[in-house]
Amino acid sequence: MIRFSTRYAAQLALGIAVTALFVWLIARNVNGAELMAVLRRANPVWIAAAIGLFLAGYACRVARWRSMLLRDNPALSWGACVTPFMGSIAANNVLPFRAGDVLRVYGLSGHLEVPKSALLASLLVERLLDLFSLLVVLAICLLLFEPIEGLAGTVAQLGVYGVFALALVIITLLLFPRVLEWPSVVFLRMMSRILPSFHKRIGGFFDHLFETLRHLAQGTRMSVLLLWSVFVWGFEGLVFWASARAIPDIVEPLVGFLALPVATLATMLPSTPGHIGTFDFFAIKSAEALGNSAGAATAFALLVHLVLWLPATMIGGAGLGLWSIRGRGNFHSKKATI
């Protein structure tokens, strides 16, 4: 127990340190008075448009997630998925250690009447689809926005083809999950010899997990998920674009489409909940790479971060709160299995 506590404390300390570093890197290059002046000139109409596009994108995210779960619960409605999905996003936004992911997989299986293994598989597929989409967008942006200076130029030097190659690896895993299944089976066999009780507890879980992954890869199911992903990230790209349009000092609003993959992929770095500092730093550098001033780039990064963070946190938090008040907070149904 002490080991786990120490590990979590170390992870939290690392996240805080990384956030502090990036916040310092941002603050040292920004004039506070200039930043406030730029923010005061922000166009509320474009901000409202960005929020509307955000809501449309998340409606598509919920629909994509629901489509993954229909095999285990064909009666599952879109509305029934909204609070669990948005609640998990809100929890991730304010709590450490990806608490929202744990809530979605282990706390809500009873309400959704979907096995935990299927929920875990859906989360894995969701992450892989998002990573694949972001890598494709990044490669396209690096082709369209050449030559790019600064940090984005360094990324470009890694090679557009390298980014596409990584995307190809991910889509291969999605279409052929047996590539992942074989090493998992080998691992479980090794563990069965060392810890027989461990294998007994999770062997069935892994079987159901890969059964779900194989199901999603069959026929046109993955094509449907990829199509939903186009809508998801298309709307999210428009959120970045509308946020850039909201800042009059941004000379090239298309910077939003470059900032989308760069800043979003940066959230994979350790940080505090909400990705404070890491998201903002790379969004700023993306904006500066296309000729925007430090003040305008920082205002854009802060605005788009707020548009992505605040509505999701408010909607998800309010949904979970109402759920609890109405006496539906018991998520542990006997219908849920591993």
Residues 6+ apart with CB under 8 A from 199: 188, 191, 192
- Report the C-alpha gap between 323 and 164 in whole angstroms: 43
Cis geometry, peptide bond prior to residue 147 (ω within 30 degrees of 0): yes
At 70-80, the pLDDT tens digits run: 998 999 999 99
Where residue 200 falls among pLDDT bands split at 50, 70, 90?
low
- Report the C-alpha gap between 35 and 300 in whole angstroms: 10
DSSP letter (8 states) at residue 96: S
Note whether 279 and 264 are within 8 A (CB): yes
- Report the C-alpha gap between 255 and 293 in whole angstroms: 12
At 170-179, the pLDDT tens digits run: 998 888 888 8
Q: Which two tokens stand for residue 58?
A: 């998340």
Of the chain, the percentage scoring pLDDT greater than 90 comes to 53
Residue type at position 61: R
Note whether 109 and 336 are within 8 A (CB): yes
pLDDT (mean) for 209-232: 90
- Report the C-alpha gap between 98 and 236 in whole angstroms: 21
- Report the C-alpha gap between 337 and 215 in whole angstroms: 18
At 100-156, the pLDDT tens digits run: 999 888 877 677 888 888 898 899 899 999 999 999 998 888 777 765 555 455 555
